[in-house]
A and B are shown apart, each in its own frame.
Chain A
Amino acid sequence: MATEKKLYTVSVYTENNIGLLNRISAIFQRRHINIESLNISVSEIKGVSRFTILIHMSEDQIKKVLGQIEKQVEVIKAYYHTDDDTIYQESCLFKIKSDLLFEERQIQNIIKESNAHIVTVNKEFFVLEKSGRRAELETLHKALSVFGIMQFVRSARIAVTKDELKITEMLNAFKNQ
């Protein structure tokens, strides 16, 4: 039995309809499952949305939850993946006082070494953006905390799978029925 809890990424392809977020999040809420992160965006298919949900749970549990998600009328298909199955990223923004950028040489080194990039600079503050794995983001956060961060925000995980997902074929099959 796959009862050990792990981090899974769930990809859900859906119609782009109002209320679907509510319907999908209710499935987790009802089972007292905390969503670690959630991203909704367009997908490679016109008019089809893609939910990327990060969940900490057992494989047995996730299969059942996936069944409940796929059962929703406006869900086209749902998949779950381990970290090894996907290429994934998160990104984050730091808002930091501009003075520090010019006065603290070390900050410039941190920026260079971390492959972060400066989005904008003005008199009061600059904004730094970094994409990557969670650990890289956390390392940067830790390094910059020492100097003081005015604002910080991290995005949900986004992920693509190494294997092909045959959504387009599924939709074409419906069209040709």
Chain B
Amino acid sequence: METLTATQKQYLEQPKERISGSEAIVRCLLAEGVNVLYGYPGGAIMPVYDELYKYEDKINHVLTRHEQCAAHAAQGYARISGKVGVAIATSGPGATNLVTGIADAQIDSTPIVCITGQVPSHLLGSDAFQETDIVGISTPVTKWNHQVTKATQIPEIIARAFYIAKSGRPGPVLIDITKDAQFEQFDFQYKKCTGVRSYVPVPKTDPSSISDAAALINSAKKPLIIWGQGIILSKAEAELQELVEKAGIPAAWTIMGASALPTSHPLNVGMVGMHGNYAPNVLTNDCDVLIAIGMRFDDRVTGKLDEYATQAKIIHLEIDPAEVDKNIKTDVAVLGDAKQNLIELLPQVDANTHPEWLQKFKDLYEIEYKKVIKNDLHPTKEGLTMGEVLKEINIQTKGEAAIVSDVGQHQMIACRYADFNVTKSNITSGGLGTMGFALPAAIGAKMAVPEREVVAVIGDGGYQMTIQELGTIFQNKLAVKIVVLNNEFLGMVRQWQQLFFEKRYASTEMVNPNFVAIAKGYYIEAKKVTKREDLAATVKEMIDSDGPYFLEVCVEKEGNVFPMVPSGASVSDIRLE
């Protein structure tokens, strides 16, 4: 059970009081424990903004410079706090601008509630000014959505929105509220939602599936764990570590699972997938039991499906029944909450070590180190590498920063080389691959954990998709550290063009502006590094600075990210060069 704050108690289950729909919306948010939301005003949501003005001592509305960024900021907030992020926008373009963030939250299971204003109910369907069917548009990318046309519906629907967003496999919920419902007066009272009869957030676990899983694990000679974000979402980091250590099982992670087990843990064997580590990818096709926990066998993880771990027995611990057998046929499916099921599983698992099997991971790591990692982290060539920038960030933050990455080469490098010593430290757009995600997500992340160092690592392409959020950072004095790894290319697409399209660099070269001048235009301290000898000191200066800081690092133009599982290839056909 969550503990309620004093503010929440003030608005929960109070005697009925006659107020407007718009005031009710704000009180509902307060009752849900929301103290920050991200948004952008406009005609159809103005009554709510008028109430936000009156309640500004209790709830902080952050004006982003674009509604898409309100959604991403809410995502960043949710991902690092474990709470529901909230974004708010007006009807029409305000609402449609949220959609990318909503779709991102859907595919990455992030709990956010989006509230949109809508034209008055008597104008619905009339093609009124700024009318758009946002409920229709957002249906395929929301866990749930609903249109409210009467003030009396507001408390129940908002309560349900928060419950659905947060429970089970989390996801985005959109509530569209007509302007007349915002103005309407009604007798307000708020009760939290504790269940929806048609919705089973956590499926029942069959106890025999746990003993079957334990038996398979105990019989395994070459077991491999692959965990995903499910570990973080169910707060099962300690249980995962206990399982890994007790049974002596090497454990690898998907991009969304990063940081649940410290990078430095001896049984953490790295990332799986297209640009993951060599050993866990190759040995996926060598293990005898594959234990997948809170992950969904995404195509970027599996490569060619019919050559994925065909030799192994598959155990899948999963909260969403629709994910079981979706891509990979499982031998034992353990449905339910990851933490709860790991707690049940642990006593049934024998203590074990697998020294020979672990040695294989070490041997393959050595190969990857010589061929790839050494050149990325300790380059001898002239041009700066993305990897050495990450290495400096690790040193200066002691591996305790939250790394918010965008999408592309720098993202793969950040996930590969960042030291994740604290959980919930990898905020990135995994499933949707949304360029422009990082800068706004870093805003939400920093506001959720102001005491933590938040470093946004972004490419020069993605940065320019949401660069206007420098304004939000400046206005709110947020000490976000922004690192742009500038190779003057849309690097990942260029890499594919080099490898698979005979170097026809179609529309991937970027002529960039003076990024330092732009940051300074927003009164943000900024520096540019072009030489290796300046890197360490400048990264230190950035981390030491108290306010926001922009650092542009000019890296080699045509660097590639390896290892790489070419699209459509088997994971064991991973290329090192």
Chain A residues engaging chain B, CB cutoff 8 angstroms = 14-15, 18-19, 22-23, 26, 30, 63-64, 67-68, 70-71, 73-76, 171, 174-175, 177
Contacts and interface: CB of A to CB of B under 8 A. Distances in A.
Nearest to B323: A67
Given A19-B135, A19-B139, A171-B197, 13 more contacts: A14-B198, A15-B197, A19-B146, A19-B147, A22-B136, A26-B139, A64-B322, A68-B322, A70-B321, A71-B322, A74-B144, A174-B195, A177-B195
B198 A76 contact: yes
B325 A75 contact: no
10 contacts: A15-B197, A19-B135, A19-B139, A19-B146, A64-B326, A67-B322, A67-B323, A73-B144, A73-B199, A76-B198
A68 B144 CA distance: 13
B145 A19 contact: yes
B147 A18 contact: yes
Contacts, number: 49
Interface of B is mostly: mixed
A64 B136 CA distance: 23
B196 interface: yes
B112 interface: no
B164 interface: yes
B313 to A, nearest CB: 18
B197 A71 contact: no
Nearest to A22: B139
Interface residues of B, number: 22
A68 to B, nearest CB: 5
B306 to A, nearest CB: 11
A18 B139 CA distance: 12
Q: Which residue among B140, B147, B320 has the maximum number of chain A CB atoms within 10 Å of its CB?
A: B140
A14 B135 CA distance: 18
Nearest to A75: B198
A151 B453 CA distance: 72
B320 A71 contact: yes
A30 B139 CA distance: 12
Contacts of B300: none
Q: Which residue among B196, B198, B322 has the maximum number of chain A CB atoms within 10 Å of its CB?
A: B198
A15 B198 contact: yes
B172 to A, nearest CB: 12
B325 A63 contact: yes
Contacts of B196: 73
B79 interface: no
B527 interface: no
A156 B545 CA distance: 68
Contacts of B144: 73-74
A30 B103 CA distance: 14
A26 B197 CA distance: 23
Nearest to B135: A19
A83 to B, nearest CB: 25
Contacts of B323: 67
Interface in B137-159: 139-140, 143-147
Contacts of A22: 136, 139
Given A19-B145, A174-B197, A67 B140 contact: no
Nearest to B198: A76
A125 to B, nearest CB: 35
A73 B196 CA distance: 8
A29 to B, nearest CB: 9
A175 B196 CA distance: 10
Contacts of A171: 197
A170 to B, nearest CB: 9
Nearest to A77: B198
Given A18-B147, A76-B198, A26 B140 contact: yes
B315 to A, nearest CB: 19
B124 to A, nearest CB: 11
Contacts of B198: 14-15, 73-76
Nearest to B329: A1
Contacts of B135: 19
A3 B433 CA distance: 32
Closest 5 pairs between A and B when the two form their complex, measured CB to CB: A67-B322, A174-B197, A76-B198, A73-B144, A73-B199
Nearest to A20: B139
B166 to A, nearest CB: 13
Contacts of B164: 73
Contacts of B146: 19
Given A67-B326, A73-B144, A23 B139 contact: yes
B107 to A, nearest CB: 13
A30 B164 CA distance: 23
B432 to A, nearest CB: 15
Contact of A73 (B143, B322, B324, B325): B143
Nearest to A26: B140
Nearest to B324: A67
B153 to A, nearest CB: 12
Contacts of B324: 67
Interface string B292-330: 000000000000000000000000000011111110000
Contacts of B320: 71
A15 B196 CA distance: 11
A175 B195 CA distance: 10
A60 to B, nearest CB: 9
Nearest to A29: B140
Nearest to B173: A73
A71 B145 CA distance: 14
Contacts of A174: 195, 197
B23 to A, nearest CB: 26
A74 to B, nearest CB: 5
A136 to B, nearest CB: 36
A177 B135 CA distance: 31
A75 B322 CA distance: 14
Nearest to B160: A73
Contacts of B143: 73
Contacts of B136: 19, 22
Contacts of A177: 195
A30 B147 CA distance: 23
Interface string B194-208: 011111000000000
Contacts of B199: 73-74
Nearest to A177: B195
Contact of B322 (A18, A23, A30, A70): A70
Contacts of B325: 63-64
B12 to A, nearest CB: 21
A177 B204 CA distance: 14
Interface in B154-203: 164, 195-199
